[in-house]
Amino acid sequence: MTDRSLHLPVAAQPSLEALVDLARLGERRGYEFAWLPETWGRDAVTILATIARETDDIGLGPSVVNVYSRSPALLGQTAATLQEASDGRLRMGIAPSGPAVIEGWHGLEFDRPLRRTREYIDVMRAVLSGERVEYDGDIFSLSGFRLRCDPPAEPVPIDAAGMGPKAVELAGRFADGWHAILFTPDGLEERLEDLRRGADLGDRDPDDVRVTLSVTACALEDGDRARELARQHLAFYVGAMGTYYRESLARQGYADEAEAIAAAWANGNQEAALEAIPDALLSDLAAVGTPERAREELRKFEQLEGVDEIGIGFPRGASRDELEATIAALAPDEIE
């Protein structure tokens, strides 16, 4: 059976405790992991450390931290520390992000993202081994670092996120898992072929690469409200977050819709951007509506061969009550 996890809200929450409470709720309702995106608000490391101390069983990890704003050695140290804080419940999710974040927010050049991700995986594993780090890569040359604490007794899996064919191939070849977001069932099956090709290139078993798909979900008694929230969320990501999401949708057969959403958003017409999202696209990308409808929509993703875990993500505009209602309605203990 496919595991279910929580992709904690990307939207700012009123307090650190509010995020901890959501993770606790997920633990009580049987979710496998609590994944935390690092976006505009609080940093992921502090939140994950706090959640680790306030929970007992639920797995934890960032989905994702970028491979520019922290050095690879520092992320290795961070992984070792979070693994200790969580008593072995950590998975690290890393990814390049995109120019809008790396250049716009952090003032760094968005250069060679795939090679950089590969070298981060290498260096982080070297740090986590507890051995002296001697690394000579194309981007990073490191010498002399070694943890001054015991390395994790439980190895830390390092997952990579990506949407394009080469990024997914890289995950299959070098990472312990792949994090996928904004995929239709057909689109995901195409990228799973890239994952398997990468595993073959790395002389690995594809089944050893854990696939986590984040699905935007909203399960409310007011199904129209749930669908409107999902439309707002999708329009924002396609319209405001650079070209990656638009390009991914185009590869999945929705090029015209993606261009229409982006053009309307760029012109300041958010209402037109929402109207450019047809029901078919919303159904293909999300699990939203009444609780029964959302559960039915979620099943089509869970039935995909090669998917190990579904992360329940949330629309940016969802209120606290709407978050909790969705967590309850789609909890593993509600699976029939």
Domain range annotation of the chain? 3-219+286-334, 222-285
Q: What is the mean pLDDT of residues 318-336?
A: 91
57, 61, 266, 289 from 47: Cα distances, Å = 16, 10, 33, 30
Q: What is the mean pLDDT of residues 240-262?
A: 92
Residue 100: what pLDDT?
84
Sorting pLDDT into bands at 50, 70 and 90, what band is 228? very high
DSSP H helical ranges for 7-148: 16-28, 44-54, 72-85, 99-102, 113-128
Rounded distance between C-alpha atoms, residue 61 and residue 92, angstroms: 5
Is residue 68 a contact partner of residue 96, using CB atoms and an 8 Å limit?
A: yes
Residue 133: what pLDDT?
98
Encoding tokens for residue 17? 């405790």
Residues near 306 by Cβ (< 8 Å), separated by ≥ 6? 189, 192, 195, 206, 211
Rounded distance between C-alpha atoms, residue 3 and residue 265, angstroms: 35
Residue 198: what pLDDT?
98
> How far out from the chain centre does Cα 33 lie?
12
Q: What is the mean pLDDT of residues 85-111?
A: 94
Rounded distance between C-alpha atoms, residue 24 and residue 52, angstroms: 10
Say whether 217 sits in a helix, a strand or coil: strand
**Cα torsion at 35, 41, 46, 52 (round to 10°)?**
-30
Q: Flag the least confident range among 177-181, 201-205, 215-219, 236-240.
A: 236-240
Nearest Cα to Cα of residue 281 among 235, 336, 333, 247 = 235
Provide the β-strand partners of residue 324: none
Rounded distance between C-alpha atoms, residue 49 and residue 55, angstroms: 10
Q: pLDDT > 70: what percent of the chain?
A: 99
Residue 261: what pLDDT?
96
Question: What is the sign of the dihedral through the CA atoms of 166, 167, 172 and 174?
Answer: positive
Q: What is the mean pLDDT of residues 188-215?
A: 98
For the stretch 7-47, pLDDT in tens is 999 888 999 999 999 999 999 999 999 999 998 889 999 99
For the stretch 130-169, pLDDT in tens is 999 999 999 999 999 999 999 999 999 999 999 999 999 9
Residue 262: what pLDDT?
94
Say whether 285 sits in a helix, a strand or coil: helix
Give 148: exposed, middle or buried? Use CB within 10 Å, 0-12, 13-18, 19+.
exposed
For the stretch 40-72, pLDDT in tens is 889 999 999 999 999 999 999 999 999 999 999
Sorting pLDDT into bands at 50, 70 and 90, what band is 220? very high
Residue 335: what pLDDT?
60
Instruction: Tell me if the domain spanning 3-219+286-334 has CATH number 3.30.70.100.
Output: no
Say whether 245 sits in a helix, a strand or coil: helix
Give yes or no for residue 242 having a pLDDT over 90.
no
Q: Work out the mean pLDDT of the chain and round it to a whole number.
A: 96
